[in-house]
Amino acid sequence: MKTTANLLVSILEQSHSAIAIYDSIDLNIAFVSQGMLDILCVDRSILGRSFCACFPHFKEEGFSSILKNVWKTGIVYQAERTPANIVHEETKTLRYFNFEYRPLLDEEGKTYAILHTASDVTEQHLAYKNVEEKQEQLMFSRELDVLASTLAHDLKNPLSVLKIGNSFLSKNVGVSVKVSERWFEAFAASIQNIESIINQTLQLGKIRSAEKEVACVAMDKKIRNCIDEIKLVYPDKQMEIKLGDLFPLYTDGGIVYQVFINLIGNAVKYAKKSGEAFLHIYSEKADKGVVYYLEDNGIGIPEDELQKVFLTNERASNTAKIAGSGIGLALVKHLMERIGGTIHLWSELNKGTVVRLFFPVSSRTLA
């Protein structure tokens, strides 16, 4: 007849709960339940062997170091929704776990074993991420609603100018040439504003209807296409555009287009009227991502207004005479946040602006 201890071990071995015990600093596997074997996709041949020898990929992922630190310090380690690659028949599968490494201490407070418990929460994690993504999409949609509403409101001003001017000129046929020219200049500015608002509205429509499609974006081609389009919009603007290293991005190509078409358009639109205008676009590899810079020598932005320009319907005070909706940088900021990136501005009045865009590395996991 089995002793109580042996009976308990036998019961625990068949348990669907994931349990393992390591009884040396070398992480010798002294006990493992069926539940843990199922999670790790191994059999009982791992008993009596070291954790590092059985799971070299876990050593690479840092779990062995954590276990050894728990043994040395006697401090419990807990983690939730932690990614780990499970290897089965040479195939890696990314799973997510809640787990605990609990040191078992003797009377002197020294570790004599580590109790490892775990639960596979991959399905819950993926469901949570799905809900989180849907919430982000809903928030983004609401933000687009605000931007669209702002554009609709902005449209009233240039339309009012056209209506008032048309009414005035139709009722005052004999006005002087000077007065007529002033009205025609106002008409031209209003029409330009309306075109800008319509273009921004179309951009919002494209963004709203498009799902994020992550793929490798050839930035050399993408940026050159943006430059060609901007030159068609501003044929009278002369600007030297210098391109440096343009590293590819693994992200949503549509969002990249919207970001750069707005920023390059701003650099050209707000270039100085006198002197040689230039724009330098280049990228650098950074920790966990790629950074793009756009440097120009345009009219710049007052230092105390740098954060304000990211707000909807806000423009720098020195751009009042230049047509615009005040939505471009707000839109760019929303788009960068949508793909997990960031945008920062440095600017000096009458000297130019530097835009820094950080694009994070994709979180793809290859099997």
The predicted-structure confidence for 131-169, as pLDDT tens digits, reads as follows 887 877 777 677 667 666 656 655 666 777 788 888 888
Same domain for 336 and 306: yes
Average pLDDT over residues 337-363: 86
The rounded Cα 35 to chain-centroid distance in angstroms is: 37
Alpha-carbon distance of 31 to 35, in angstroms, equals 12
Among candidate residues 181, 209, 237, the one where a domain is terminated: 209
Alpha-carbon distance of 20 to 24, in angstroms, equals 13
Q: How many CA atoms lie within 13 A of 326 on its CB side?
A: 21
Same domain for 129 and 29: no
Lowest mean pLDDT among 38-52, 70-84, 94-108, 272-286: 272-286
Token couple for 247:
């590293």
Same domain for 339 and 222: yes
pLDDT at position 112: 95
Same domain for 218 and 171: no
Comparing CA positions, the residue from 187, 164, 184, 167 lying closest to residue 176 is 184
Among candidate residues 173, 191, 209, the one where a domain is terminated: 209
Give one word for 178, left, alpha or beta, with left for phi > 0 and alpha for psi -120 to 50: alpha
| Higher-pLDDT residue of 153, 90 | 90
Lowest mean pLDDT among 148-157, 191-200, 283-292, 357-366: 148-157
Q: What percent of the chain has pLDDT over 90?
A: 38
Same domain for 311 and 179: no
| Higher-pLDDT residue of 187, 320 | 187
Query: How long a stretch of residues is the chain?
Result: 367
pLDDT bucket at 90, cuts 50 / 70 / 90:
confident
Q: What percent of the chain has pLDDT over 70?
A: 78
CB atoms within 10 A of CB 191: 14
Token couple for 70:
């728990």
Q: Strand 77-88 vs strand 91-105: parallel, antiparallel, or unpaired? A: antiparallel
Helices first, then strands: H and E counts in the chain:
10, 12
Alpha-carbon distance of 73 to 225, in angstroms, equals 58
Same domain for 218 and 199: no
pLDDT at position 211: 60
Q: What is the CATH number of the domain that holds 287?
A: 3.30.565.10
Exposure class string for 275-309: b at 16+ Cβ within 10 A, else e: eebbbbbebeeeeebbbbebbbbbbbbeeebeeeb
Same domain for 128 and 110: no
Three-class secondary structure of residue 64 per DSSP: helix
Residue 68 in this model has a pLDDT that exceeds 90: yes
pLDDT bucket at 327, cuts 50 / 70 / 90:
low
Residue 325 in this model has a pLDDT that exceeds 50: no
Among candidate residues 120, 135, 157, the one where a domain is terminated: 120
Same domain for 78 and 178: no
Residues in Cβ contact with 112 at an 8 Å cutoff, skipping those fewer than 6 apart? 23, 104, 105, 106
Domain count for the chain: 3
Token couple for 116:
């490892």
pLDDT at position 316: 46
| Higher-pLDDT residue of 307, 266 | 266
Alpha-carbon distance of 49 to 27, in angstroms, equals 8
Is the CB of residue 329 less than 8 Å from the CB of residue 311? no
Exposure class string for 122-150: b at 16+ Cβ within 10 A, else e: beebeeeeeeeeeeeeeebeebbeebbeb
Structural domain that includes position 303: 213-367
Q: What is the CATH number of the domain that holds 183?
A: 1.10.287
